[in-house]
Structure 1
Amino acid sequence: MFKSKVALAVAVGVLAQQAGAAGFIEDSKLSVSSRTMYFNNDNREHNSSNQNETAQGFKLDYLSGFTQGVVGFGVDAQALWGIHLDGGKGTHPDNNTFFPSDSDGSSVSDWARASANVKARVSKTEAHVGGALAPNLPILVSNDGRLLPQTFDGATITSKEIDNLTINAGQLEHAYGRASSNSTGLAVAGGFRDSNKFQYGGLDYKITKDLLVQYYYSNLQDYYKQNFLGLVHVLPISEGQSFKTDLRYFDSSSDGKNGETGYAFNNNGGYAKHAGEVDNTTWSAMFTYTLGSHAILLGHQRVSDDGGFVWTGEGNVRKDGSTSSLEGNGGSSFYLFTDSMVNQFARAGENTTFGQYTYDFASLGVPGLKASVAYLHGDDIKATSGTGSDASEWERDMRIDYVVQTGYLKGFGTSLRQGTYRTNATGASDTDQTRLIFNYTYSFM
């Protein structure tokens, strides 16, 4: 964290001398995004944790161009502001990931944070250092599923020097939760200690315009090491008709202090062959057939028996190692098809079959309107003790999205989503969830 701040300060000093250089200002972009969100989470078994809230979020993004020269410099800045509109004590579970909690357990009236990255470009290689990083990679996905996005602090490099090959590498040290003004260390879901080092490297190679292969390696210090292999192929059949294949494989194992006192974790609330240690392989395959306005998706996922799938997030930990949550931290995404609206379908032994149907109403004269329904069913979930009966779970998600295509409100988007989740697995609860979201982004430059 200290090194990142020093690098940021030095780079800002350099930029202050070159801000007038051609490209830095001319290629700058400034925008304000607005998101209004109604969030209702109905826990069917524990009424005390039900949630019913509405909030307004604003996100200011400034992306500069690069200064001239062999090495071009720039800066990206972001400011976030969340305002609570409705939902008092009793409808706001304390330490949730939608809005920060006040001392009495209700929502605070508002919260904010600001961060920035400095960046440098040489040829087709870019480096970013700062606290507004939002990676979207197979081994780490920044979550934007609530009012405001999750971001990370650290350094990343992306290189496209070789045609059709993209190389990504980086080291991240802290995370900012999607409902928090503060940063925390990094951990896995259920982790009891924070790690300040997540390192990764990988490549995306387009063998042909229709075939992409991927390999990534990542390491969350004292928790896990992970290898990822991916393949994406799109087969054009005719105009408006295609068949897409998406294959993903993860191999995760223990690292460093993982499993020792303070570095064990609850393995997604499920079974672990070696309690608190990472030991997992997960593969998934998804096939999508598109015909005009119709898209049908079918897939299957298999989590190994020795432990649940693992991914990096904040974890509900403080720097002192206690398990009490910082406000609004937690709620990380991961690169599996089953990272759905309510549940994850990623526990030890789980076999999940899933499908989705999507319809685009543009062919009926309503461009910008889409609707979809998805269903996931997982079984063979290993009991926490490893000796009980296997459990199962299912989820049905429905959504309607509309984006205004013309006029003064061009780009204004509305999304209505409803999820129903049912299970007999230990540590999980039947849940109904509804989200109503209004999005709009205004660009100044």
Structure 2
Amino acid sequence: MLKTPIARGVALATLGATLAIPSMAQAAFIEDTKASLELRNFYMNRDFREGAGQSKAEEWAQGFILRVESGYTEGTVGFGVDALGLLGVKLDSGEGRAGTGILPGAYNDRAPDDYSELGLAAKAKVSETVLKVGTLQVKNQAISSSDSRLLPATFQGGQLVSKDIEGLTLDVGYLNRTNLRNSSNNEALTFGGKGTAGGVNATAPGDSDSFSFAGGTYKLTNDLTAGYYYSNLEDIYKQHSFNLVHVLPLGDKQSLKTDLRYARSTDDGSGSNVDNKALGAMVTYSISGHSFGLGYQKMSGDTGFAYVGGATDPFLVNYVQINDFANADEKSWQARYDFNFASIGIPGLTFMTRYLTGDGFDRNIGTANAPVITSGGKQWERDMDIGYTFQEGALKNLNVKWRNATSRNNYSRGTNIDENRLIVSYTIPLM
């Protein structure tokens, strides 16, 4: 791709620390640099059905996401720098409508006009092994940075990924701070699971100093991939996570995909008392542009699923737009349908709908100050996504997506939700 003077200027300004590198070593560093600017317009509306306090959350904002990934200097060990610039600008909000998660601020708290962050990560590469230290977006079965709002969540720490052995990816990391999706400062890590032992009224553990993980995936055959990760949120929980994915070809434009997941979480400190076994399975049959999926998820043990709080996506088959269906002892089912309109001559247009229902967990029918714990907890969620990416013309590569969700339960007033998200995004390649 043609390197414009503006794009070169952005890369050099962002990665100016490399000027001390000899000019011969800089050649690949500059020529292999990639830069893009994503413009993301995000509207979100949540209607809290029968809520005793806030009746709705409604906000609109414009996001700017600048990504710069340098190449590597020449030599046995190559060095480089990545940069992530984030800016969110308020377009519409209000004290009584805040709290969607796309802007800072909660109910009765006015959102600021804008918020921003600049994150840098130094990197080094030997063969197919890369070490990054600084601002990271981590995505694996132990922890996954969420990108479901205006701006993505990030972490501070280090990560080593090695692909030197064919079919094998090794992944080791250490994280000690997080920047939430609607924040401009790094904060301590927290627990995001469904309580510790003691039921739905259990007190969540405090902050943690670090999260570490080690694991990877291995392609056993062309159709079968296995994954394993060990992770530890210091003083709160330890977890072993297993994953097996098999794709069975069934003929012309047909396949059967099976995704099996199991995680065992235990406490890592006298105050946390985590105890969970999470089993999940998703089977998807695809033919032409159609996909039909069935999912099952079961929690057992004294607590719900354990994961890092703030803005992470837990590795669960039934983690969806609003709920994770991961309460202690909860069993849940999912039915899902996807259609890619490219199969009938309309490329760029996609559709998804799913329905989930869960039951068998304890619920609090009292209040926080006077809890009444009983059995019979139930919940369900229905989601629908419609997206279109323009294929040609002046709007080529512009993506428009509407996400709709309805969630109901019998355990908490104010958490029955009707939700709509409208997202318009366009990525401009700079280099």
Q: Does 1:435 align with 2:421?
A: yes
Pairing 1:134-173 to 2, within 5 Å after superposition: 134-173=137-176
- 1:306 aligns with 302
Q: Distance in 1 between matches of 2:334 and 2:22?
A: 51
Q: Does 1:376 align with 2:348?
A: no
Partner SS state of residue 406, structure 1: coil
- 2:288 aligns with 292
Partner SS state of residue 390, structure 1: strand
Cα 1:374–1:102 change in 2 (3 A) is closer
Q: Does 1:186 align with 2:166?
A: no
Q: Does 1:391 align with 2:377?
A: yes
- 1:38 aligns with 43
- 8 Å contact from structure 2 (residues 48, 414) kept in 1: no
Q: Does 1:76 align with 2:82?
A: yes
Cα 1:386–1:351 change in 2 (3 A) is farther
Query: Shift of the alpha carbon at 1:386?
Result: 9.4
2:27 aligned to which of 22, 28, 48: 22
Cα 1:225–1:305 change in 2 (3 A) is closer
Query: Shift of the alpha carbon at 1:207?
Result: 0.7
Query: What is the Cα-based RMSD across aligned positions, in Å?
Result: 1.9
Give TM-score scaled by structure 1 length: 0.86
Query: Shift of the alpha carbon at 1:387?
Result: 5.8
Identity over aligned pairs, percent: 41
Cα 1:207–1:390 change in 2 (3 A) is same
Query: Shift of the alpha carbon at 1:103?
Result: 11
- 8 Å contact from structure 1 (residues 118, 130) kept in 2: yes
- 1:204 aligns with 217
Query: Shift of the alpha carbon at 1:340?
Result: 0.9
Q: Distance in 1 between matches of 2:150 and 2:205?
A: 26
Q: Distance in 1 between matches of 2:312 and 2:229?
A: 19
Pairing 1:246-261 to 2, within 5 Å after superposition: 246-259=259-272
Query: Shift of the alpha carbon at 1:192?
Result: 4.8
- 8 Å contact from structure 1 (residues 71, 122) kept in 2: yes
- 2:6 aligns with none
- 8 Å contact from structure 1 (residues 258, 278) kept in 2: no
Cα 1:19–1:370 change in 2 (3 A) is farther
Counterpart amino acid of residue 353 in structure 1: W
Partner SS state of residue 184, structure 1: coil
- 1:359 aligns with 339
Cα 1:37–1:305 change in 2 (3 A) is same
Query: Shift of the alpha carbon at 1:440?
Result: 0.6
Partner SS state of residue 18, structure 2: helix
- 1:224 aligns with 237
Contiguous gaps of at least 5 residues in structure 1: 1-11, 260-276, 314-329
Query: Shift of the alpha carbon at 1:202?
Result: 0.2
For residues 48-91 of structure 1, the C-alpha deviation after alignment (integer angstroms, 9 at most, x for no partner) is 15111110000111100000000000000011100010122211
Query: Shift of the alpha carbon at 1:13?
Result: 8.9
Query: Shift of the alpha carbon at 1:161?
Result: 1.2
Partner SS state of residue 248, structure 2: strand
Query: Shift of the alpha carbon at 1:157?
Result: 0.2
Farther-moved stretch of structure 1 (434-443 vs 338-347): 338-347
- 1:124 aligns with 128
Counterpart amino acid of residue 59 in structure 2: E
Q: Distance in 2 between matches of 1:62 and 1:293?
A: 35
Query: Shift of the alpha carbon at 1:147?
Result: 0.4
Cα 1:103–1:359 change in 2 (3 A) is closer
Partner SS state of residue 23, structure 1: helix
Cα 1:155–1:366 change in 2 (3 A) is same
Q: Distance in 2 between matches of 1:354 and 1:163?
A: 35
Give TM-score scaled by structure 2 length: 0.89
Query: Shift of the alpha carbon at 1:258?
Result: 3.3
Q: Distance in 2 between matches of 1:440 and 1:416?
A: 15
How many residue pairs get aligned? The number is 398
- 1:52 aligns with 58
Q: Distance in 1 between matches of 2:102 and 2:316?
A: 22
Q: Does 1:86 align with 2:92?
A: yes
Query: Shift of the alpha carbon at 1:16?
Result: 2.9
Q: Distance in 1 between matches of 2:383 and 2:261?
A: 22
Cα 1:75–1:437 change in 2 (3 A) is same
Counterpart amino acid of residue 242 in structure 1: S
Q: Distance in 2 between matches of 1:169 and 1:306?
A: 29
Partner SS state of residue 382, structure 1: strand
- 1:262 aligns with none
Q: Distance in 2 between matches of 1:172 and 1:49?
A: 37
Q: Distance in 1 between matches of 2:17 and 2:150?
A: 35
Partner SS state of residue 302, structure 2: coil
Counterpart amino acid of residue 237 in structure 1: L
Q: Does 1:343 align with 2:323?
A: yes
Contiguous gaps of at least 5 residues in structure 2: 1-14, 196-203, 365-370
Counterpart amino acid of residue 247 in structure 2: V
For residues 356-388 of structure 1, the C-alpha deviation after alignment (integer angstroms, 9 at most, x for no partner) is 101111122210101111000001012358962
- 1:401 aligns with 387
Q: Distance in 1 between matches of 2:83 and 2:373?
A: 52
Query: Shift of the alpha carbon at 1:232?
Result: 0.2
Q: Does 1:64 align with 2:44?
A: no
Q: Distance in 2 between matches of 1:428 and 1:258?
A: 29
Farther-moved stretch of structure 1 (365-374 vs 425-434): 425-434
1:420 aligned to which of 400, 406, 410: 406
For residues 92-133 of structure 1, the C-alpha deviation after alignment (integer angstroms, 9 at most, x for no partner) is 14xx522112997121111111111000000110000002x1
- 8 Å contact from structure 1 (residues 381, 425) kept in 2: no
